Amino acid sequence: MFWDQESETITRSTLQQLQLKRLQDTVQRVAQRVPFYRDKFKKLGITPADIKSLDDVRRLPFTTSADLRANYPDGLLAVERDEAVRLHTSSGTTGKPKAIFFSRKDVDNAAELIARSLVMTGITKKDVFQNMMSYGLFTGGLVMHYGAEKVGCLVIPSGPGTSERQLMLMQDFRTTAVHILPSYALYFAGFLEQKGIDPRKDLALRKACVGAEPHTEETRRRIEQIYGCDVYNSYGLTEMNGPGIAFECEHKAGLHLWEDNFILEIIHPDTGEPLPEGQTGEMVLTSLKREAMPILRYRTRDITSIIPEPCKCGRTHRRFARITGRSDDMLIIRGVNMFPQQIERVLMSFPQVGRNYVIVIEGLDDMTIKVELTAAGFDGQVEHLSALQKQMVEKLKAETWVRPKVELVPAGSLPVAEGKAKRVIDKRSL
């Protein structure tokens, strides 16, 4: 299914011509209106006239999270303040957040990209779409909401948490599609189990769009098995638009980036040098249609690779692989680099594992992984638990080259947050 088949199946040559024209317009725009970029161009000795091909994007300066915070609240605006109609901020753990402005055209275009993405997964105007993401300064709720309305869905803006209310809405209005955090999808499954509800039989769900936090293919399969619905990975970034930057199609073989709106680069995280298609590195994005706040070569810190082969769905916009982690989320344990998702991939391969886990690091790089088991998995038989524990340790060591301590606990033993899951507790810096 296509929302805009002409745009989604545009030839590569025509798409690249469109990208170049929009890149040139964007560079000209920020050079005229954004002092931050004007100063950067001057220091680099470049002008908008120097951007003559898509390869010239590499001549442009990177933009980082630190740059956005340094220019808070409105130093990167490319329009007058009264032309901006919406403000979102990224979640920040310390200091000032990153403020992102939207013009009316930006709001409409973000909704358009969501509509493309949802229709690509098979969602139609006949669906009842329950949006279980946070509304407010976080882009995930509102941007997805507008896009689902554009498709014509009946949208239920339920927001996060309050599982009793989520269930009531699902049952009363026969929700067929949800937008949900993967960690909350697993938590909610436990809530349904306590209620004696079989989601495959007692709910009407057929589609789930998950995102806003990293998760593995194993977690996706676990959610699909529990709910009996198709689960689609999405990629969003407040700095670029929020959700809808990239989405999986029906083949679930990588995320299509909407290249008529963004230029994608993969660079070496340490050197900043470009990497060829297929090699894993840090994703860098340049916005091509943002009016209020265009951003050049934004270093996302997300680690992925471009999938060079064409997709079976017929869309010509290139795909990138599932995000394996963030360069700034990488753990260094006893000199070994690893990502939390490597640990999740191992844990979720065990059917006895429940829906929650936490990684605790303390002392001299001592790593303990606390893992909830299902009721059946935690059967109280010491010999069974000991054997399972040993299997997990060995499999984790084979994956990460580090031998962690594993603690097996009953379901519901670990704390659960209504927002993004906190999977790592690093006490070394406390």
Does 269 share its domain with 378?
Answer: no
Please calculate the CA angle 427-429-430 and round it to the nearest 5 degrees: 65
- Cβ neighbours of residue 65 closer than 8 Å, sequence gap 6 or more: 98, 299, 301
Q: φ, ψ for residue 178 (rounded to 5)?
A: -135, 155
Q: Which of 329, 355, 377 is the last residue of a domain?
A: 329
pLDDT value for 417: 66
pLDDT value for 423: 84
pLDDT tens-digit readout, 8-62: 999 999 999 999 999 999 999 999 999 999 999 999 999 999 999 999 999 999 9
d(C-alpha 114, C-alpha 141), whole Å:
12
Tokens of 214: 């990293």
| Alpha-carbon dihedral 279, 284, 290, 295, rounded to 10 degrees | -160
By residue range, what is the domain housing residue 334?
Answer: 330-426
pLDDT value for 406: 92
Q: Find out whether 395 and 330 touch, Cβ atoms under 8 Å.
A: no
Q: Which of 311, 329, 347 is the last residue of a domain?
A: 329
d(C-alpha 133, C-alpha 153), whole Å:
16
Does 375 share its domain with 257?
Answer: no
Does 325 share its domain with 351?
Answer: no
Q: φ, ψ for residue 380 (rounded to 5)?
A: 85, -10
Average pLDDT over residues 183-195: 92
- pLDDT beyond 90 at 336: no
Does 324 share its domain with 387?
Answer: no
Does 84 share its domain with 192?
Answer: yes
The share of the chain scoring above pLDDT 70, in percent, equals 96
Give the domain CATH number at 135: 3.40.50.12780
Please calculate the CA angle 242-246-250 and round it to the nearest 5 degrees: 135
The DSSP call for residue 274 is B
Does 193 share its domain with 62?
Answer: yes
State how far the alpha carbon of 218 is from the alpha carbons of 57, 184, 353, 372, in Å. Answer: 36, 15, 12, 16
Average pLDDT over residues 324-330: 76
Does 263 share its domain with 279?
Answer: yes
Does 130 share its domain with 80?
Answer: yes
Domain total in the chain: 2
- pLDDT beyond 80 at 429: no
Does 229 share its domain with 152?
Answer: yes
Q: What is the mean pLDDT of the chain?
A: 92
Which band of pLDDT confidence, cut at 50, 70 and 90, is reported for residue 421?
A: confident
pLDDT value for 331: 81
Prediction pTM value: 0.87
The DSSP bridge partners found for residue 424 are: 359
3-state secondary structure of 20: helix
| Alpha-carbon dihedral 121, 127, 128, 131, rounded to 10 degrees | 20
Q: Which of 266, 301, 329 is the last residue of a domain?
A: 329
Q: Find out whether 85 and 107 touch, Cβ atoms under 8 Å.
A: yes
pLDDT tens-digit readout, 353-374: 888 899 999 887 889 999 999 8
Tokens of 405: 């301590």
Which band of pLDDT confidence, cut at 50, 70 and 90, is reported for residue 410?
A: confident
Q: Could you tell me where the beta strands, DSSP code E, fall in 157-203?
A: 177-180
| Amino acid sitting at position 92 | G
Does 179 share its domain with 95?
Answer: yes
Does 116 share its domain with 231?
Answer: yes
Average pLDDT over residues 336-355: 85
d(C-alpha 184, C-alpha 190), whole Å:
10
Check residues 380 and 320 and name the one with the higher pLDDT.
320
pLDDT tens-digit readout, 227-246: 999 999 999 999 998 999 99
d(C-alpha 67, C-alpha 75), whole Å:
10
pLDDT value for 62: 98
Q: Which of 338, 377, 337 is nearest to 356 (CA)?
A: 377
Does 373 share its domain with 273?
Answer: no
3-state secondary structure of 146: helix
Give the domain CATH number at 374: 3.30.300.30
pLDDT value for 354: 85
Which band of pLDDT confidence, cut at 50, 70 and 90, is reported for residue 91?
A: low
